[in-house]
Structure 1
């Protein structure tokens, strides 16, 4: 077995998953506000108990590394580091947006694009763009949502938007090629991606591994509002 315990706390979702060779064995999730620190270790124990696995059976710890909530990432990564150090296991960091995009990959056709979005504040989001194979089309960046932001992609084909930042875009984007999913961040896909890194031996250095908070914002100016030029 190649059991990997994965942690996702980058948003309001606290999610713990257990995978064996990338196949999901157990999952526990909560959307209770401001409760990551209170719930996370109990959820770890629940997943292990439900799957009749022990901490000593684990081969690695996976964790969502950001971008996302400062507090959420700090709690998740601190917990992952503690488990990794205490159990003598490698730590695997997975990009939060890639983990989110993975949820839409099976629904994509060849020319479709995936745009995961994590809510930041006001009309700001953290985002990136991927193709169906999770190759990066537009790299990770913070931006202010405007109606025309994804116009060049939408004119070429279907674009799938998902994550807790999507509600901001849904209100202003009505293009026929836009598809909105209600999917939220989950350790389900963090674990799948962590196993791929596990096979390649792509591990984090416990002493230097830090969350990707991504604080600076890129303002995308509207082509339709002259006051924003």
Structure 2
């Protein structure tokens, strides 16, 4: 199976090519507020390096959220443009699940924290069961003070973004993890049948919470 994968949910902008469970090509860098400019350039570079053609793809995967309001819109819009022009299926991939999946199988509950804005984070818990990663909570939108008060050092916890706040805890068990189009593509291939969008024209990012402009 051949999958083109797009990750723009955070300040990381990336695009990758997955073929039969292997990442054949990957172009991604940290580019805050430059996704709209960089993503087409990264796509051209990936095509040049791998030689993959859109007509050969089985699907295009995109990090669907939660995450950056603007980043998610840019990624999904670009995904739709490529997919609709060649009749390619779209596979929306939950951003937090991809982050956890990247760490591989871990015993017990796993918590992921993804910085949203100011002192706000997205939080969700997962567990590996019967070789499958399953969420065991809904996605919460929490302020840092609440996260800090309820932090459990016994639970494996990973984060991305909000380093000044996270580092203030001074807890070595809290480890950083980075989003990647690599894992968006791998998860999309693994869950292709279950996750393929049956109505891609109405597909929207999973923002989770409204963004208030003050």
**Which bin holds the TM-score, normalised by the shorter protein?**
0.7 to 0.9
Gap regions ≥5 residues in structure 1: 218-229
What's the CA shift for 1:138? 2.1
- Which deviates more, 195-204 or 97-106? 195-204
Instruction: Give how far 1:5 is off.
Output: 0.2
Structure 1 counterpart SS, 2:76:
helix
Q: Secondary structure at the match of 1:184?
A: coil
Report the structure number with the largest CA radius of gyration: 1
Q: Residue 161 of structure 1 aligns with which residue?
A: 158
Task: Could you list the structure 1 runs, at least 4 aligned residues long, displaced by more than 6 angstroms after superposition.
Answer: none
TM-score (norm 2): 0.87
Which structure 2 residues correspond to residues 31-180 of structure 1 after superposition, within 5 A? 31-106=30-105, 108=106, 110-111=107-108, 113-132=109-128, 133-146=132-145, 147-151=148-152, 154=153, 157-165=154-162, 167-172=164-169, 174=171, 179-180=173-174
Q: Partners in 2 of 1:51 and 1:143 — Cα distance?
A: 41
Aligned residues: 206
Deviation at 1:167, TM superposition (A): 4.9
Aligned mates of 1:162, 1:105 — CA distance in 2: 15
Q: Provide the secondary structure at the position in 2 that maps to 1:139.
A: coil
RMSD: 2.0
Q: Distance in 2 between matches of 1:134 and 1:150?
A: 22
Specify every segment of 5 or more residues in structure 2 that has no aligned partner in the other structure, as ranges. none
TM-score normalized by the length of structure 1: 0.82
